Amino acid sequence: MNYQALHEITFYVMYFATGLATFVIGERLIFYVVTLRQARSFESLLIAEGGDAAQLVGRLDSRESVPADALRRMVELRHRMHTRQDQEDISEAIYLSLKAKLQRYLWILDTVVTAAPLLGLLGTILGIIETFSVLAHSGISDPSGVAAGIGTALFATGLGIAIALYGLIFFNLFQERVERISEHLRVIILYAGLEKREGTASHVPD
């Protein structure tokens, strides 16, 4: 078995995982910054300024966003809210579907964080096996050669841990952003639903 080739493959896989994680981190950073800003803006219009959800939806552009989607769905489904239970069920369904969008691609970071140290350990084991295989065949007795081979093998473990830490920092940051945006979405959805009950002709009975 070619342990050297397997050892190199583990490095290529870890490099690919780093690149994939970096792409996801960049995309999610932009997404969460824009989404959080929009959610705060919509919440301010609906609560602090007493804006009407239907009027706010009419002023939205055609670009898709999670907060705008929450408002559109709530306004579109108002005609189905005949009781308080209907409103609660629809609100919860909208919230859950939108939260799934907020968590999109985070499983990739979670997988990288979990797999990177294991890949690093695998690379180290393969590297050590390769070193001792060379020693067994060539009979090298120079300690520096053995140390260099083991050092290269241990580098895989260090790289795997570094990748895991890199991904873990942003994974935890994004989880916190998801929770903050989710809180704003709940307020937006609930306030849009309250407007339905407060209308004179659109009252939702208890």
Say what the pTM is. 0.79
Q: How far apart are the first and last CA of the chain?
A: 72
pLDDT tens-digit map of 56-96:
766 666 567 888 888 778 777 776 777 777 777 888 888 88
Q: From CA 62, how far away is CA 52, in angstroms rounded?
A: 19
Could you tell me which residue, 133 or 34, shows the higher pLDDT? 34
Work out the mean pLDDT of the chain and round it to a whole number: 81
Residue 197 scores a pLDDT above 70? no
Distances (CA, A) of 135 to 123, 147, 150, 154: 18, 12, 12, 17
Q: From CA 111, how far away is CA 12, in angstroms rounded?
A: 16
What torsion, rounded to 10 degrees, do the Cα atoms 86, 54, 192, 189 define? 90
Residue 23 scores a pLDDT above 90? yes
Q: From CA 179, how far away is CA 154, in angstroms rounded?
A: 38
Count Cβ atoms below 10 Å from residue 60 Cβ, excluding itself. 15
Q: From CA 98, how far away is CA 71, in angstroms rounded?
A: 11
Three-state DSSP class for residue 103: coil
Mean pLDDT, range 136-147, rounded to an integer = 64
Q: Taking Cα atoms as reference points, which of 86, 88, 72, 45 lies closest to residue 184?
A: 45
Indicate the range of 111-115, 140-144, 167-171 predicted with least confidence.
Answer: 140-144
Indicate the range of 25-39, 64-78, 95-109 predicted with least confidence.
Answer: 64-78
Three-state DSSP class for residue 19: helix
Find the helix or strand (DSSP H, E) in which 15 lies: helix 3-43
Q: Taking Cα atoms as reference points, which of 146, 152, 148, 153 lies closest to residue 132?
A: 146
Residue 196 scores a pLDDT above 50? no
- Can you give the pLDDT at residue 113? 95
Question: SS3 helix, strand, coil % of the chain, rounded to 5?
Answer: 85, 0, 15
Q: Residues 126, 10: contact at Cβ < 8 Å?
A: yes
